[in-house]
Amino acid sequence: MDLGQKIAEVVETTNAEFLAQCYELDGTPALGSMVRAKGKDCEIYGIVCASATHSVEPGRRIMARGQGAQSETDVFKANPQLAKLLCSDFRALVVGHGRGRSMYQYLPPSPASIYAFVYTCKSEEVRDFTKSLNFLSLLIDTRLPVATDEVIAAFLRLASQTQQEPLDFLVKAGKDLAWLLSNDIRRLDSILKRLRQ
């Protein structure tokens, strides 16, 4: 996992989520990973819930260019302008914020600042943030471009790797999910099955 690396910039922001454009093409962080961006007086934490690479101009379709190339890299070598015409971005669902040493697992008072730099979170940060899993309810009830359950499972899998006792963490998270999904056993079952490493 990348440790606290600056990877993107906020280009669209709301209280609940932000869109960040990556500095590098295909440089989006893993689905479910935690990222951090500056907000007003606080650090805002989000979970990557959707990534995309597309044309910079909305109306311009990307054409296939590699028919004669030996490898995908050759396509970029032959068309150096592509790096400027294409971009990668990702959406992060805001799950909490931090102020000083304190972490709060609920929405910040104001959204992430526009053009704020976005960093990947270090393992210690993830560990600190996931001491409480209250934010899972935010995830459960959100409609996302990607299946929400996939995001939750991906996040918990990644977060568990930062813990000293990954299995205990997963069991604790599983129990929290069981409470939240007490009226939807099938959904719980499907998320739990996705938590296996």
Partner 1 sequence: MTERSKQDNMRLGTVIFGSLMHGVQVKLDPGRSVEEIAVGRYVAIKGEKKRFFGMITDVSLEAVDPRAMVMPPDISDPFIAKVVSGTTTYGKISVLPMLTISGDAATMLEGPQPAKTVPAHFSEVQLASQRDVELVFGPEDRQRFYIGTPLDMETKVCINMEELVKRSNGVFGKSGTGKTFLTRLLLVGMLQKSGAVSLIFDMHNEYGWEGKSEKGHRVKGLKQLFPGKVAVFCLDEAYARRRNVNVDHMVKIGYDEIEPEDIALLRQTFNFTDASIQAIYGLARRFGDKKWFESTLSLGEEESKKVQKEMEIHDSTWRNLRRSLMNLQRFPFLMSHAPDDAVKNMLGYLERGINVVLEFGSYDDISAYILVANLLSRRIYTQYREKVDVSDAKGNKEPVPMVITIEEAHKFLNPEVASQTIFGKIAREMRKYNVTMLVIDQRPSGIDEEVMSQLGTKITCLLDNERDVDAVLTGVAGKSELKSVLSRLESKQQALIFGHALPMPVVVKVREYGTPESYKELGPLAGDTKAKTDKLDDLWG
| CB of 163 vs partner 1, minimal distance in Å | 15
Task: Measure the CA–CA gap between 175 and 192, rounded to whole angstroms.
Answer: 10
Round to whole Å and give the CA distance between 24 and 43: 23
Asked if 143 is part of the footprint of partner 1 (rule: CB under 8 A), the reply reads no
Interface residue with partner 1 among 23, 66, 178, 194 (CB under 8 A) is 178
The single-letter DSSP state of residue 60 is P
Nearest residue to 33 via CA among 129, 106, 142, 165: 129
Cα distance between residue 184 and residue 192, in whole Å: 12
Terminal CA-CA length for the chain? 16
Whether residue 2 contacts residue 120, with contact meaning beta carbons closer than 8 Å, is answered with: yes
User: Could you say which of 40, 65, 99, 193 contacts partner 1 (CB under 8 A)?
Assistant: 193
Q: How many CB atoms lie within 10 A of CB 189?
A: 12
Q: Which of 84, 131, 143, 196 binds partner 1 (CB under 8 A)?
A: 196
Report 5-24 residues binding partner 1 (CB under 8 A): none
Q: Is 140 in the site for partner 1 (CB under 8 A)?
A: no
Q: Among residues 143 and 186, whose Cβ is nearest to partner 1?
A: 186
Does position 165 bind partner 1 by CB under 8 A? Answer: no
Report the nearest approach of partner 1 to the CB of residue 173 (Å): 9
Residue 128: CB minimum distance to partner 1, A: 24
**For 40, which DSSP code?**
S
Residues that bind partner 1 (CB under 8 A): 167, 170-171, 174-175, 177-179, 182-186, 188-189, 192-193, 195-196
